[in-house]
């Protein structure tokens, strides 16, 4: 239920840095739900760091270690210029130690080298409840003949009392 609410909040946002429930999120080129569209990294799985609840991903009750998720960008969009993240960081921008970051990354098909195209970090926003925010960038044209693409999500919390939840991610063009 919570992820359905988060998705509804996400789908109603506008491109101002923070969501405005009065306007739709236009120009969506790709999106992924936290639990259904992303895969946990090895240490996240082996150390039992995360919990899936209603499609969202968060820390196990007593865990504060880094959680890393990888969200493959299927059916690559033509052109994007905003990376949106739906999340909760109960510390907002007040704690540099608790955050959610999302990086759009390309991997060279010929040699596996990676390049980060853009990174979103929740520490840039003061929101402490369920929210959707974005980072804008000059724009990027995907080249599926030379690169693989994915979004890397990192969730980190300073103490078990900090609430850091990831709901979903999207690429848009506006």
More confident call, 89 vs 3: 89
Q: What is the pLDDT of residues 93-108, one digit of tens each?
A: 877 789 999 999 999 9
Q: How far apart are CA 6 and CA 10, in angstroms?
A: 6
Q: Where are the alpha helices (DSSP H) in the chain?
A: 2-11, 34-37, 42-46
Does the pLDDT value for residue 83 go beyond 70? Answer: yes
With tokens 């959680």, the residue in question is 67
| CB 143, CB 88: distance < 8 Å | no
Instruction: Look at residues 58, 24, 26 and name the one whose alpha carbon lies nearest to residue 40.
Output: 58
Q: What is the pLDDT of residues 13-36, one digit of tens each?
A: 333 355 443 345 678 899 999 999
Which residue segments constitute the domains of the chain, with CATH numbers given?
2-172 (2.60.120.260)
């Amino acid at each position: 239920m919570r992820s359905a609410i988060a998705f509804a909040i996400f789908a109603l946002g506008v491109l101002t840095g923070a969501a405005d429930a009065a306007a739709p999120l236009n120009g969506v080129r790709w999106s992924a739900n936290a639990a259904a569209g992303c895969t946990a990294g090895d240490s996240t799985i082996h150390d039992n760091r995360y919990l899936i609840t209603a499609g969202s991903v968060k820390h196990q009750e007593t865990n504060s270690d880094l959680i890393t998720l990888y969200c493959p960008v299927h059916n690559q969009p033509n052109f994007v210029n905003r990376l949106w993240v739906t999340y909760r960081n109960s510390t907002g921008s007040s704690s540099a130690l608790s955050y959610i970051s999302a990086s759009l990354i390309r991997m060279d098909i010929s040699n596996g080298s990676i390049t980060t195209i853009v990174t979103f970090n929740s520490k840039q926003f003061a929101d402490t409840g369920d929210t959707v925010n974005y980072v804008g960038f000059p724009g990027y044209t995907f080249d599926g003949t030379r690169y693989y693409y994915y979004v890397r999500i990192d969730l980190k919390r300073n103490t078990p009392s900090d609430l850091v939840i990831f709901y979903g991610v999207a690429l848009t063009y506006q």
